[in-house]
Amino acid sequence: MALDLREAGEADDVALTVDYAEVYALVREIEGAKQYALLEALVTDIAGAVLERFPRVEEVTVRARKPEVPVGGLMDHAEVEITRRREN
């Protein structure tokens, strides 16, 4: 997540930043809400929800990894990463 942390850092106040436990709980909620066929859909939903729920966040990068993908090669996982920015 990208956000201006100057005020939070100077004040040492969690109310001026994003509570990581709340973000984690949101990600778990989204992950468990439905079955996703694509990692792309999962990371899109997570990024949108983070930007919606946490107005201080200006940009978010979400990465999801799926272990043991059946591609028949020497891969131990597939991974998708997206970055989304708040629209002004």
Q: Write down the catalytic residue from 66, 75, 79, 81.
A: 66
* Residue 34 known to be catalytic: no
Which helix (H) or strand (E) covers residue 59, if one does? Answer: strand 59-67
**What pLDDT was estimated at residue 23?**
97
pTM higher than the cut 0.85 = yes
The whole-number pLDDT of residue 70 equals: 75
Query: Higher-confidence residue: 71 or 2?
Result: 2
Q: Identify the helix (H) or strand (E) that includes residue 85.
A: strand 77-85
| CATH for 6-85 (3.40.109.10, 3.30.497.10, 3.40.50.300, 3.30.1130.10) | 3.30.1130.10
How far, in Å, are 9, 11, 15, 39, 70 from residue 49 at the CA level?
25, 27, 19, 15, 30
Question: Token digits for 6?
Answer: 């100057």
